[in-house]
Amino acid sequence: MRKKLRSRIFIHSLALLTASFFLAGAGAAAQEPGGEPQESEAPAVYEAEDASFAGNVHKEAFQPGYSGDGYAAGFAGDEDACTFQVQITQDGFYDLNFVSAAVGGYKENYVFVDGASAGEVSVEDMSFTDSVLTRVYLAEGEHEVTIKKFWGWILLDRLEITESEELDETMYEVSAHLCNPNASESAKRLMSFLADQYGKKILSGQYSSQGQLGKEFTVIHRVTDKYPAILGLDFIEYSPSRAANGSTSKATEYAMNYWKNGGIVTFCWHWNPPEKYFTREWWRAFYTDSTNIDLAAILNGEDEEGYQLLMEDIDAIAKQLAILQEADVPVLWRPLHEASGGWFWWGAAGPEAYKKLYVLLYDKLTNEYGLNNLIWVWNGQDKAWYPGDEYVDIIGEDLYPGERVYASQIDAYLNAVHYTDAHKMVVMSENGCVFDPELAVRDGAMWGFFCTWEGEFVAKNMAIYAYSEQYTEESMLKKAYDSDVVLTLEDLPDLTTYPIREDE
């Protein structure tokens, strides 16, 4: 039910391309936060014009500000890439800085090391500037470092490689204090357990719209002989505009059952908006391209009817959360997810409107409905969209790097850590591939939990439930679930009696 891989539309402007040729690049001195520029070891520099090209990539020398004899351009097609041959003198973690310029606004592109996905780098400036992928592990010897077209449309000047800074392990020291001062004892117990494990263990999780007896849980148990610690569910079918079209759900019931069986539950909400805003099929109306809803207009009073309709939608979900509260089920609650991507309507009006909606939702559920069983997982995926520490207990990142990519996603992890100066737990709230826990420990990417999306990411669409290796090979799933670092349902303590941690 979600957009599995990020897809955006880019319209190339020849005028912007031409104008960019007249902008000079500028470098920035390395600087400690709030301090003076610091001396650092000179980076190893590899000029793009000396690298290997694939597809349409070629050398140019029109844009001012480049170093060497030119730069690489022509990142337009899916096979377009630039590969550097680099030499590493000792094992360790390194930052890869692809000094580049964007053509026509913000761009992201893939990075591979020795053919394996290492992450993505982004650039927005139309002058040559830093675009850094942090903390990539490289063994001593020669490596191939490739930047490949995702959006494309960059001018790549050079690759600079420097040793990564040591991790500040105090980032794992998170508080168990919840942003709701009236949080229930069950919510406090669950958060205390999560905070105690953070930095040491990673909880396993799996979305399954049919609960513990669904195909995803069935095939995971068949392969690993274990169940995930966390069951992921969606309130989508409780949206009034979907219920009006005949949708039904047992998600609330499945959540209560899993809690009774000793598990943890997390909920997202693919919020189908009110029917008056549909522009395409009702079953996909949560996507921006299927609605004409103007969230900014609703929240600033220009669309009073729309505001009332949104409040009625929230009321419907609040009723389900209240049922869970009555059953004393704490919920890892992840509303308004992936907002900064723009593909869902709640993110289409930009960060300010989104933050107003998030705070409004928090206030309504917490103060009007008195829902104290919620642990608030914010999943905006961009620092500019962060609503404030007083509304966030946990930070979530959704990551879909492709098929059979087992990297720890350390760059995304550290990026999320720095959304706020407060120490917040960071989790992989959705994932396609299950990452290798050994790499997570090595890299320091100690996600509080992962929660694999449902369907094809783990199970084939067949009458007889069968495991799908499209995204995670069976051997890697076994490795993850057998890891001493990964907690499954069988490893969980009795969370109804877990001691509450009294944090200052």
Instruction: Give the DSSP letter string of 371-404.
Output: --SEEEEE---SGGG---GGG-SEEEEEE---SS
Question: What whole-number distance in Å separates Cα of residue 74 and Cα of residue 57?
Answer: 4
Percentage with pLDDT > 90 across the chain: 89
Diameter of the chain measured on Cα atoms:
69
Instruction: Encode pLDDT of 403-458 as tens digits.
Output: 999 999 999 999 999 999 999 999 999 999 999 999 999 999 999 999 999 999 99
Instruction: Encode pLDDT of 51-67 as tens digits.
Output: 999 999 999 999 999 99
- Identify the pLDDT of residue 30: 35
Alpha carbons within 13 A on the beta-carbon side of 241? 20
Strands 202-203 and 154-163, sheet pairing? unpaired
- Identify the pLDDT of residue 17: 32
CA-to-CA separations, 451 to 209, 232, 399, 493, in angstroms, rounded:
13, 7, 10, 19
**pLDDT one digit per residue (tens) for the chain, 504 residues:** 433 333 333 323 323 333 333 223 333 333 333 344 444 567 999 999 999 999 999 999 999 999 999 999 999 999 999 999 999 999 999 999 999 999 999 999 999 999 999 999 999 999 999 999 999 999 999 999 999 999 999 999 999 999 999 999 999 999 999 999 999 999 999 999 999 999 999 999 999 999 999 999 999 999 999 999 999 999 999 999 999 999 999 999 999 999 999 999 999 999 999 999 999 999 999 999 999 999 999 999 999 999 999 999 999 999 999 999 999 999 999 999 999 999 999 999 999 999 999 999 999 999 999 999 999 999 999 999 999 999 999 999 999 999 999 999 999 999 999 999 999 999 999 999 999 999 999 999 999 999 999 999 999 987 679 999 999 999 999 999 999 999 999 999 999 999 999 874
Instruction: Encode pLDDT of 150-194 as tens digits.
Output: 999 999 999 999 999 999 999 999 999 999 999 999 999 999 999
Instruction: Encode pLDDT of 120-137 as tens digits.
Output: 999 999 999 999 999 999
Average pLDDT score over the chain? 91
User: At which residue do the structure tokens 């010897």 appear?
Assistant: 141
Length of the chain: 504
Calculate the CA dihedral of residues 336, 338, 343, 349 and round it to 10 degrees: 60
H or E element that contains 421: none
- Identify the pLDDT of residue 111: 96
User: CA 233, 238, 241 angle in degrees (round to 5)?
Assistant: 135
Tell me the helix, strand and coil percentages in the chain, rounded to 5.
30, 25, 45
Question: What whole-number distance in Å separates Cα of residue 307 and Cα of residue 166?
Answer: 48
Question: What whole-number distance in Å separates Cα of residue 299 and Cα of residue 283?
Answer: 25
Q: What is the DSSP letter of 349?
A: T
Please say whether the beta carbons of 97 and 121 come within 8 A: no
Question: What whole-number distance in Å separates Cα of residue 91 and Cα of residue 86?
Answer: 13
Burial 202-239 (b: 16+ CB within 10 A, else e): bbbbbbbbebbebbbbbbbbebbebbbbbbbbbbbbbb
- Identify the pLDDT of residue 33: 36
Please say whether the beta carbons of 101 and 55 come within 8 A: no
- Identify the pLDDT of residue 125: 94
User: CA 487, 488, 494 angle in degrees (round to 5)?
Assistant: 90
3-state class (DSSP) for residue 273: coil
- Identify the pLDDT of residue 41: 65
User: CA 275, 278, 279 angle in degrees (round to 5)?
Assistant: 160
Alpha carbons within 13 A on the beta-carbon side of 339? 28
Domains of the chain by range and CATH? 14-163 (2.60.120.260), 169-491 (3.20.20.80)
Q: Choose among 246, 247, 263: nearest CA to 255.
A: 263
CA-to-CA separations, 409 to 90, 235, 419, 481, in angstroms, rounded:
22, 28, 16, 18
- Identify the pLDDT of residue 22: 28
Q: Which residues are catalytic?
A: 338, 430
Q: Is 329 exposed, middle or buried (0-12, 13-18, 19+ CB in 10 A)?
A: buried
